[in-house]
Structure 1
Amino acid sequence: MHTLGDAQLARMSGDPGLVAAVDQHAAVLRDAIPLDRETLGDYLLGFLDELRHRGWAFTGEPDAASLRLTAVCWLTRELDLLADGHPA
């Protein structure tokens, strides 16, 4: 959340194209997995492992991986999955 999510979520307020792209990725996640803390967290860990394996790095420009990560962060906030104070 701190590395990518906070900045990307802040950018969404002024970028309708980013909102639409993140919403599309969120919709894919809604259709693919249960959106509870444990399942979304497991999905995120597996996705990050794959990105590390591929040598992916966030460049600051939206790409498929950063949009998916932003969608996870957005869903986490929207569903209040960090309400107990645990870090993302």
Structure 2
Amino acid sequence: MGELGDTQLARMGSDPGLVAAVDQHAAVLRDAIPLDRETLGDYLLGFLDELRHRGWAFTSEPSEPADLDAAALRLTAVCWLARERGFLSDELPA
């Protein structure tokens, strides 16, 4: 959340292109997994493990949603879903 989520979620308030892109990734997740706290958390951990294995890193803040790669959009979607479903209400780090 601190690396990417907070910044990207704040951008969503003024960037309809980012909202649309994140919504597409969120729809894929809604169709693929149950969206409870544990399953979404497990998905996130597995996704992050795969990204690390591939050497992916979020290194900059793009100026346009098109500049975000698919991994960054998927991570933003996970953060958005976690926030929207109230999974972060206890203010524990995601």
Q: What's the TM-score once normalised by structure 1's chain length?
A: 0.95
Q: CA deviation at 1:13?
A: 1.1
Match of 1:43 in 2: 43
Q: Which whole-Å CA distance do the structure 2 matches of 1:60 and 1:46 have between them?
A: 23
Residues 52-85 of structure 1: per-residue CA shift (max 9 Å, x gap) = 0111111323110000000000000000011223
Q: For the aligned residues, what is the CA RMSD? A: 0.9
Match of 2:80 in 1: 74
Q: Which whole-Å CA distance do the structure 2 matches of 1:16 and 1:42 have between them?
A: 29
Q: Which runs of 4+ in 1 moved over 3 A?
A: none
Q: Which ranges in structure 1 are unaligned for 5 or more consecutive residues?
A: none
Q: Give the AA of the match of 2:73.
A: L
Q: Give the AA of the match of 2:9.
A: L
Q: Which ranges in structure 2 are unaligned for 5 or more consecutive residues?
A: 63-67
Q: Give the AA of the match of 2:89.
A: A
Aligned pair count?
Answer: 88
Correspondences of 1:18-37 after superposition (within 5 Å) = 18-37=18-37
Give aligned-pair identity as a percent. 81
Match of 2:7 in 1: 7
Q: What's the TM-score once normalised by structure 2's chain length?
A: 0.89
